[in-house]
Amino acid sequence: MPCRGVRGATTVDDNSAEAILRETRRMLALLIHLNDIRPADVTSVIFSTTRDLTAEYPALAARQLGWLDAALMCGHEMDVPGGLARCVRVLINWNTDKELHDIQPVYLRGARNLRPDKAALPPVDNEDLDGWIQQQVDHWRDQRSAKKETRMKIVAFQGEHGAFSEQAARQHFGADVITLPCTAFEGIFAAIDAGEADFGVLPVENSLAGSINRAYDLLLEHDLRVWGEILVRVRHNLLAPAGTTLEQVHTVRSHPQALAQCERWLSQRGLKAVTWYDTAGSAKELAANPEPGVAAIASSLAAETYGLEVLASGIEDLAWNYTRFFVIGRGDPPITAKAKSSLVFSVTHEPGSLVACLNEFSSRGINLTKIESRPRRNRPWHYVFYLDFDGHWQDPACQQALVSLLARAAFVKLLGSYPAAEMPAANGEVGQSELLQI
**Sequence-distant (≥ 6) Cβ neighbours of residue 45 within 8 angstroms:** 59, 62, 67, 70, 71, 72, 73, 90, 91, 92, 93
Q: Residue 208 CA to chain centroid, in angstroms?
A: 23
Q: How many C-beta neighbours within 10 Å does residue 16 have?
A: 17
Decide: residue 415, CB within 10 A, 0-12 exposed, 13-18 middle, 19+ buried: buried
Q: What is the DSSP string of 381-434?
A: T-EEEEEEEES-TTSHHHHHHHHHHHHHSSEEEEEEEEEPPPPPPTTSSSSS--
Considering the candidates 54, 96, 179, 323, report the single residue annotated as catalytic.
323
Verify whether residue 361 is a known catalytic residue: no
Strands (E), 225-367: 225-233, 237-240, 251-254, 272-275, 294-298, 309-313, 322-329, 339-346
Q: Exactly one of 325, 326, 361, 389 is catalytic; which is it?
A: 325
Q: Annotate 238-261 with b (16+ C-beta within 10 A) or e (fewer).
A: bbbbeebeeeebeebbbbebbbeb
Residue 164 known to be catalytic = no
Give the closest residue to 90 by CA, choosing from 61, 132, 122: 61
- Residues near 332 by beta carbon (within 8 Å), at least 6 away in sequence: 225, 416, 417
Catalytic residues: 323, 325
